[in-house]
Amino acid sequence: MQKRGQVTIFIIIGIIILFSAAGLYLIKDQFFQNQTIQDTLIDTSSVKGFVESCLQKTLKDAVIHIGINGGYNKLPDQSSTNADLNAPYYLFHHESNIPSKEIVEIEISKYVEEFMPFCINNFETFTNEITFKEMKAQSKINNNNVATTLSFPIKIIKNQKETNLNSFKKQTPSSLNNALLASNEIINYSLVFQNSLCLDCLEDTSQNNNLKIRSLELNIEEFFYVMEDENDKDFIFRFATKYDSNTYEQEDELIDFSLLEGLTIE
Amino acid sequence: MKKTTLLIIVCTFLLPIIALAQEETPQPQQNQFIAEDPSTYDYSSPDFYNQVDYNNWDWNQISSNPQNVQTAITALQDQGILQGGASYDESKALGFYSDPGFATFLENLPESEFEKLDGAMLVDSGNANKLNQDQIAANIDEITDLKALEGKELNSYIQDEFATTLDVSQCQDKKCTLVDGVLKNDGKNSNQIILSELTGKNAIVNTQNDGTILINFNQFIEEDDKLMFFSENNRFNFIINTRTQGVNLNLKEKDIGLLQGNFLFEKGQLFVIPEINQKDKKDTVKYSQFAGIGAVIFTKTNIEVSNKPLTTSDGFSNKVYISKDQNSIQMSGSGYSFMSDEFMEHVPQLNTRNGHRLIFTPQANKKTNTPSIVSYNKKTRDLEVEGNAKIQNGNRHIKFQQGHILSELRSISGQNIITLSDQTFNQLPLNMKLKGKPGEVIMTGPDKGNKIITKNSAMYSLQYNVDVKGNRELAMETFTDIKHGVKSPDIMVIGTRTYGGNCKGIPTAGCRAEKDEIALWQRYEQIWLQNSKDRPTFIINFDKDVYSSSDRGNNHDFMDKLIEAKNKNPFENMGSTNYFENSKIYFSGHSSDMDDKILFKISQGKAARRNYYIDKNQLGGGVNLKNPFFAGCSSGPLVGKPALRIDDGEIDIFSAFLVSKAKKGTNTWDEFVKNQFSKDKITFPSRKTCLNSYSKLKLVDESYESLGTIKKLQATCT
């Protein structure tokens, strides 16, 4: 009986040891696995945060730049040339030349794609090995903001492990949509009124789109429009219109005021 | 001596002696004409008039026989004393006219011979005043001084010929003439007038010492031919200007200013007529001056001078009107311009090229059925335009066209960049107002910051009816008879009316309703939908008595007060944000006038709240919530609070109700609320409004109890 009892004890101890060993083994694997994942997660979030902050900044810069350039990353051929700060012609010789919302979105994306690398700077601030491929931006102009989704494949390598980041999304508050709507309104009545600036229309447009709008007469053929958002001092949207002064319609029965030159009134 | 020699001697010496003897010896017949013996004169002998000097003639005797008179005239004519002969000697004529017998001569001069007189010499002789009416008529063109004529005779002639009274007593010597029907006064101011133009006008013409000619119309003209200006009890003067071939009309006693220029009376109306001269091989447009207002009109067409202010019906006619105080001018029609004499930049010369004058050009267009009436007040610089017009204000060309104010590009290439906000369209400060469009447009002068204000105002009443069964009905009505759809009203009055009994808004004495409060839903809808951007200032009035109690004034008085209060806070800039920066929310009325149950529903269960929050976005960019405007008893619960408490965003629900009612015909608030809180979607004027409502409701949802409709509303918006 005593022997049987000792055997039993050994068996029990053996089982305990076995389970303990197994348990330790399991716990060990779990521990190291968790440690690896945690290391990886930390690196990813910092990289991701870095890219997103770059995207945020670049997007904001893009909206400001695009606004100043009248919806374009780079001024198109049909743009003013004589102003200190030129702008695209949205109206050129009686034809509307205003970019569509989609075009402006593409222009924003181009800017982001062009200037994001300067901010990313090859991830030089990171010690991990990070490789990346060409980025591709897709922007959307919403009512009160501009959002950009950046497709930017990034591979982060640490401890012989790889983590991939592919897509980033950011938005920035902006009146760009209102500015485009306002621009369309202005061009619409500019087409109606030819070489005249409709003052009350401009006022209505200003109200309708919550924008302060100034019109600048550069010369007899060119008008500049500058829109500002009082709530966003950084936002300015500019475009120009150009008419052909030689095609002004002659009004009927208009007095030829040149005849009055030299006339003296009592 | 031979006979021949004797004959020669006789011929040489005797014949001259004989001849001399014959010369020195008067003939017996010639002796009877000796001056010393007039009784021997034979006036019937033609030789007499050739042999006896006219100062010895006895015209009384001559006139006893008409034949003798004719013989005498013939003799005078032959002697060059009267005109019409082979020769004429002015000095002889002057002598004859100075003769004491000249008066008798005139008395006996046959009418057919009047023209043989020399008017100029008559004046020089000092005896022109002896001419009678007919003699004046025959020689008027030659008379070099009307003042030298006998006044009564002259006037008789003028009356017969022109039906006009003429007084030349104030003329300077030899300054007033009437040649070819043109009365001239060559005094300092040199005026003239074609008297025939006054024919039938019963005018009194006064020539003044300074050259002016005043014409008084002091009688009522016959009905069919009366000048519209001139009534029985008014007298008017106009002054003729010789140099400008024009006329000054001094109509101060009537409600019209002073005019100068070329005028034409025709069919009882007065027209300013154009005068176009050739100068340097091109037309030079002359002008007619409106001296009182200090302006001129350049014409290429006839313009009627109106004796009363112009109205819309005059929009296609070429008319001008000068106010009595000569501060205001109105123009209508097209084809001419009015140039103010106001100089910009104090340039003391006419310089239209550089835009130093204000020029107004009405531009009525019959093809597009667009009238044109331009009203300008020089004193206040208020410019009001109805229809199309063009204004040159400095180097800015401002057009009023198709209900809009347009600024034309006119700057000099490569120079100034001009902004709207720095007043360049208002080089000479003008308060411009465009009438006749849905919502008038006002542009103010620089003293007010060069602003454009769309003066759109709409008032609505929120009407709460309770019928005999106790059923409630909430309805929206316009207070005012708005003639046009109002786009983006800057003031929107929402007020309440409680109609007891069963009147349901039908105006009856017992219901305290007014006729002008008939439901105008169609109009409301139009206004609301056009105002889809939701930018009005809301005036919420809870006081039914404000609009019905005489001691508080009528709707318009109240509205005026509100606008006045609003105008004390002028908009900072034309930008929309600033536009509403100083806008206020207006509250008025009795707190008890709003049914608590309605309030309860509107305020989502917060009964007895009598303050409403207007969404900032709803007003288009900011409302000064810290400084609301209170009026009436409803201010009681609110006054004293540091700021208007922002509640639950009810107004969006409220607006949704209004829109729903307008667009979908939801009849009552109850019905609307029922739908709102159950299954139906709300129709919002815009997604923006919907989102605003959603955001506010979401806030409410988080702050208070769940409304249960947030998700549905969100779905609606998206």
Residue B463: strand pairing partners: B475, B497
Please report residues of A whose CB lies closer than 8 A to that of B277.
Answer: none
DSSP category for residue B621:
S
Q: Do A266 and B289 touch (CB under 8 A)?
A: yes
- Give contacts of B 532-561 with A, CB under 8 A: 533, 535
Please report residues of B whose CB lies closer than 8 A to that of A217.
Answer: 409, 411, 416-418
What's the pLDDT score for residue A2?
54
Rounded to 5 degrees, φ, ψ at B216 are -100, 130
Q: Do A195 and B409 touch (CB under 8 A)?
A: yes
pLDDT digits (tens, 9 = 90+) for B624-645: 333 333 322 222 233 222 222 2
Q: Which of A82, A177, A196, A205 to mutate to test the interface with B (most CBs of B within 10 A)?
A: A196
DSSP category for residue B520:
-
What does the alpha-carbon distance between residue B675 and residue B53 come to, in Å, rounded to a whole number? Answer: 125
Q: Who has greater pLDDT, A163 or B450? A: A163
Q: Which of B404, B453, B492 to mutate to test the interface with A (most CBs of A within 10 A)?
A: B404
Domain locations in chain B? 31-142, 150-243, 260-411+421-455, 456-646
Confidence tier at B437 by pLDDT (50, 70, 90): low
Q: Who has greater pLDDT, A10 or B479? A: A10
Please report residues of B whose CB lies closer than 8 A to that of A218.
Answer: 417
Among B242-251, B310-319, B329-338, B426-435, the minimum mean pLDDT is found in: B242-251
pLDDT at A172 over 90: yes
What's the pLDDT score for residue B405?
79
B659 with B683: CB under 8 angstroms?
A: yes
What does the alpha-carbon distance between residue B50 and residue B72 come to, in Å, rounded to a whole number? Answer: 9
Please report residues of A whose CB lies closer than 8 A to that of B577.
Answer: 210-212, 229-231
Domain locations in chain A? 2-65+108-173, 66-100+176-246
What does the alpha-carbon distance between residue B477 and residue B514 come to, in Å, rounded to a whole number? Answer: 12
What does the alpha-carbon distance between residue A79 and residue A91 come to, in Å, rounded to a whole number? Answer: 10
pLDDT digits (tens, 9 = 90+) for A11-67: 777 776 766 665 555 545 554 444 444 444 555 888 899 999 999 999 999 999 999
pLDDT at B557 over 50: no
pLDDT at B125 over 80: yes
Helix (H) / strand (E) containing B532: none
Q: Any CB–CB contact under 8 A between B337 and chain A?
A: yes
Confidence tier at B187 by pLDDT (50, 70, 90): confident
Span between the terminal Cα atoms of chain A, in Å: 147
Confidence tier at B369 by pLDDT (50, 70, 90): confident
Among A97-101, A225-229, B485-489, B666-670, the minimum mean pLDDT is found in: B485-489
- Residue A207 is nearest to which of B334, B416, B579, comparing CB atoms? B579
Q: How far is B345 from chain A (nearest CA, A)?
A: 17
Residue of B nearest to A201 (CA): B404
Confidence tier at B676 by pLDDT (50, 70, 90): very low
pLDDT digits (tens, 9 = 90+) for B29-50: 444 445 556 677 777 777 888 7
Helix, strand and coil in chain A, % to nearest 5:
45, 30, 25
Confidence tier at A175 by pLDDT (50, 70, 90): very high
pLDDT at A72 over 90: yes
Please report residues of A whose CB lies closer than 8 A to that of B283.
Answer: 256, 259
Q: Do B337 and A217 touch (CB under 8 A)?
A: no
Q: How far is A107 from chain B (nearest CA, A)?
A: 26
- Give contacts of B 434-493 with A, CB under 8 A: 434, 441, 443, 452, 454, 487-488
- Give contacts of A 140-169 with B, CB under 8 A: 143
pLDDT digits (tens, 9 = 90+) for B500-529: 333 343 433 333 333 222 222 222 222 222
What's the pLDDT score for residue B343?
56
What's the pLDDT score for residue B375?
93
What's the pLDDT score for residue B443?
57
pLDDT at B158 over 70: yes
DSSP secondary structure letters along B166-227:
EE-TTSPTTTEEEETTEEEE-STT-EEEEGGGGTTS-EEEEE-TTS-EEEEE-SPPPGGG--
Confidence tier at B71 by pLDDT (50, 70, 90): confident
Hey, is B38 helix, strand or coil? helix
- Residue B577 is nearest to which of A212, A217, A264, comparing CB atoms? A212
What's the pLDDT score for residue A185?
87
Q: How far is A83 from chain B (nearest CA, A)?
A: 9
pLDDT at B123 over 70: yes
Residue of A nearest to B392 (CA): A257
What's the pLDDT score for residue B215?
64
pLDDT at A259 over 90: no
Confidence tier at B373 by pLDDT (50, 70, 90): very high
Token pair 């989102």: residue? B691
What's the pLDDT score for residue A137?
95
Q: Any CB–CB contact under 8 A between A253 and chain B?
A: yes
Q: Who has greater pLDDT, B439 or B317? A: B317
Average pLDDT of the residues in B296-320 = 80
Average pLDDT of the residues in B96-114 = 85
Please report residues of B whose CB lies closer than 8 A to that of A200.
Answer: 404-405, 434, 441, 452, 454
| Averaged confidence pLDDT in chain B | 57
What does the alpha-carbon distance between residue B374 and residue B338 come to, in Å, rounded to a whole number? Answer: 10
- Give contacts of A 10-69 with B, CB under 8 A: none
What's the pLDDT score for residue A128?
81
What's the pLDDT score for residue A3?
56
Residue of A nearest to B438 (CA): A200
Q: Do B575 and A254 touch (CB under 8 A)?
A: no
pLDDT digits (tens, 9 = 90+) for B677-699: 443 344 444 555 556 555 544 44
What's the pLDDT score for residue B221?
35
Confidence tier at B431 by pLDDT (50, 70, 90): confident
Average pLDDT of the residues in A155-184 = 90
Q: Which of B406, B418, B451 to mutate to test the interface with A (most CBs of A within 10 A)?
A: B406
- Give contacts of A 188-227 with B, CB under 8 A: 189, 192-193, 195-204, 206-221, 223-224
What's the pLDDT score for residue B55?
79
Confidence tier at B292 by pLDDT (50, 70, 90): low
pLDDT digits (tens, 9 = 90+) for B90-99: 888 888 888 8
Helix axes of B521-530 and B650-664: crossing angle, nearest 10 degrees: 120
- Residue A265 is nearest to which of B341, B413, B441, comparing CB atoms? B341
- Residue B578 is nearest to which of A198, A212, A220, comparing CB atoms? A212
Q: Do B353 and A261 touch (CB under 8 A)?
A: yes
- Residue B576 is nearest to which of A211, A224, A256, comparing CB atoms? A211
pLDDT digits (tens, 9 = 90+) for B2-25: 555 555 554 454 444 444 444 444
What does the alpha-carbon distance between residue B192 and residue B214 come to, in Å, rounded to a whole number? Answer: 10
- Give contacts of B 578-637 with A, CB under 8 A: 578-579, 620-621
Confidence tier at A113 by pLDDT (50, 70, 90): very high
pLDDT at B178 over 70: yes
- Give contacts of B 374-433 with A, CB under 8 A: 390, 392, 398-399, 401-402, 404-421, 425
pLDDT digits (tens, 9 = 90+) for B594-617: 333 222 222 222 222 233 333 332
What is the SS3 assignment for B543-602?
CHHHHCCHHHCCHHHHHHHHHHHHHCCCCCCCCHHHHCCCCCCEEECCHHHCCHHHHHHH
Confidence tier at A101 by pLDDT (50, 70, 90): very high
What's the pLDDT score for residue B398?
81
What's the pLDDT score for residue B214?
67
Average pLDDT of the residues in B216-224 = 40
A223 with A183: CB under 8 angstroms?
A: no
Q: Do B413 and A220 touch (CB under 8 A)?
A: yes
What does the alpha-carbon distance between residue A106 and residue B248 come to, in Å, rounded to a whole number? Answer: 70
What's the pLDDT score for residue A10?
67
Q: Do B390 and A231 touch (CB under 8 A)?
A: no
Q: Do A256 and B296 touch (CB under 8 A)?
A: no
- Counting beta carbons within 10 angstroms of the beta carbon of residue B136, is it exposed (0 to 12), middle (13 to 18) or buried (19 or more)? buried
Hey, is B261 helix, strand or coil? strand
Q: Who has greater pLDDT, B15 or A116? A: A116
Hey, is A241 helix, strand or coil? strand
What's the pLDDT score for residue B444?
53
Please report residues of B whose CB lies closer than 8 A to that of A215.
Answer: 407, 419-420
Ranges B103-117, B271-285, B565-579, most confident: B103-117
| Averaged confidence pLDDT in chain A | 80
pLDDT at A136 over 90: yes
Q: Do A230 and B575 touch (CB under 8 A)?
A: yes
